[in-house]
A and B are shown apart, each in its own frame.
Chain A
């Protein structure tokens, strides 16, 4: 059935979500309109509010409603340790792991020359300014372990070293709970090269 008017528009709008095709969009639209109008209203209002209010933290460029995000503004965070990640979701993942007490810098991307993304497009001058500020004592490179992530890490490493800042890269290795048999060769060889005294 081809829905027209507001219902059709709603279904079309829902398809902007990842993983939502025509069928799911139809299900969602009908659910909201037939069974959960209050939920629909809350959803619509929250969406509008979020889109209007949420911007980027001016220090770390993570998503934030205030000029400084909660992490950057927190006095209990170690402001001298800076972890550079690709996406805001990485900040969330690292924070959930609870192993890191420093602050972040979000690239919102990675160096990917073939996609036309170079240092300028990534806004690395902002990071450079921050490194030049003198407050940072260690840069933790936590970009992905893809070739683009590695290139980005190397580029940032050179940048940090120009400012004589200690630079570390997160370790590579076998995932917890993983069985060696199913780990790919590249990861295994990195895990062996990076083995430690026991």
Chain B
């Protein structure tokens, strides 16, 4: 797949997902670009020193990135700000970290995800202003799973392929789907599955169940790898991812 990659990419819209220091003044940057998906880039001379005091590669800011070279580690040749950083503060900022951690864990390199990119950009812009972060995060998690081939089955039960009944309880089995079951601590109500499908999580119980369901499914696909940003929310139990 990499052979088909052009050598020189100009002003590609993208976001920084993660950066790690490399050598003295360089960074290894994972970016989520619109047309090329997740790409690892080497950014030389952007760290430390007198000339690089201001961060030119902040996460969450819409950027236009140029890079050159194929292979494992192309070289970042230019970065421009496409728009100001969204004013993410407090819980919205925690949510941003959570999104980046999710993308970092789920995206494969050089696998374009245009729809996910669009949703991510929209979500970053919405997070600072919305009062309903839960609904937006759940919608994003659903899209993420869907786009990467782990979509949730929210229309019919996995055993008898009957429509989800609002009054019925289900056990959700990752990779299979909901299976009708008696209500217990591990079950989820049909009405929650329907609400999730329709993107309206109106009451607290539905939110809690939806969050719990998605957390379990994500956890399953991450094969035990923990998501660290969730720990930030622990102080704020009433408003978490």
Q: Find chain B residues with CB under 8 A from A98 CB.
A: none
Q: Are A113 and B229 in contact (CB under 8 A)?
A: yes
Find the residue from B55, B59, B228 having the highest chain A CB count within 10 A: B228
For the complex formed, measure the closest distance between the CB of A119 and the CB atoms of chain B, giving whole angstroms: 6
Q: How far apart are the CA atoms of A115 and B100 in the complex, in Å?
A: 11
Report which of B24, B227, B235 forms a contact with A18, defined as CB distance below 8 A: B24
Q: Are B81 and A146 in contact (CB under 8 A)?
A: no
Say whether A159 faces chain B, with CB atoms less than 8 Å apart: yes
Given A114-B228, A146-B58, verify A154-B24 contact (CB < 8 Å): no
Find the residue from A150, A159, A186, A187 having the highest chain B CB count within 10 A: A186
Q: Are A151 and B55 in contact (CB under 8 A)?
A: no
Q: Are B84 and A185 in contact (CB under 8 A)?
A: yes
Q: How far apart are the CA atoms of A93 and B188 in the complex, in Å?
A: 54
Q: Find chain B residues with CB under 8 A from A186 CB.
A: 84-85
Q: Are B54 and A119 in contact (CB under 8 A)?
A: no
Residue of A nearest to B59 (CB): A147
Interface residue tally for chain B (C-beta within 8 Å): 31
What 0/1 readout, one digit per residue, does chain B (185-198) give for beta carbons within 8 Å of chain A? 00000000000000
Residue of B nearest to A111 (CB): B232
Interface residue tally for chain A (C-beta within 8 Å): 25
For the complex formed, measure the closest distance between the CB of A39 and the CB atoms of chain B, giving whole angstroms: 25
Report which of B20, B55, B98 forms a contact with A146, defined as CB distance below 8 A: B55
Q: Find chain A residues with CB under 8 A from B120 CB.
A: none
Say whether A117 faces chain B, with CB atoms less than 8 Å apart: yes
Report which of B24, B58, B84, B228 forms a contact with A19, defined as CB distance below 8 A: B24
Q: Find chain A residues with CB under 8 A from B100 CB.
A: 114
Q: How far apart are the CA atoms of A162 and B100 in the complex, in Å?
A: 28
Q: Are B54 and A158 in contact (CB under 8 A)?
A: no
Say whether B236 faces chain A, with CB atoms less than 8 Å apart: yes
- Extra contacts, 6 of them, besides A114-B104, A147-B59, A158-B235 (Cβ < 8 A), are A19-B24, A113-B98, A118-B231, A119-B234, A154-B93, A158-B236
| 11 A-B residue pairings within 8 Å (CB atoms) | A18-B24, A113-B101, A113-B232, A114-B97, A118-B228, A118-B229, A120-B231, A151-B94, A155-B235, A185-B81, A185-B84
Give residues in A with beta carbon < 8 Å to B: 18-19, 111, 113-120, 146-147, 150-151, 154-155, 158-159, 162, 184-187, 189
What 3 A-B pairs come out closest when comparing CB atoms?
A113-B229, A113-B228, A118-B231
Give residues in B with beta carbon < 8 Å to A: 17-18, 20, 24, 54-55, 58-60, 81, 84-85, 88-90, 93-94, 96-98, 100-101, 104, 227-229, 231-232, 234-236
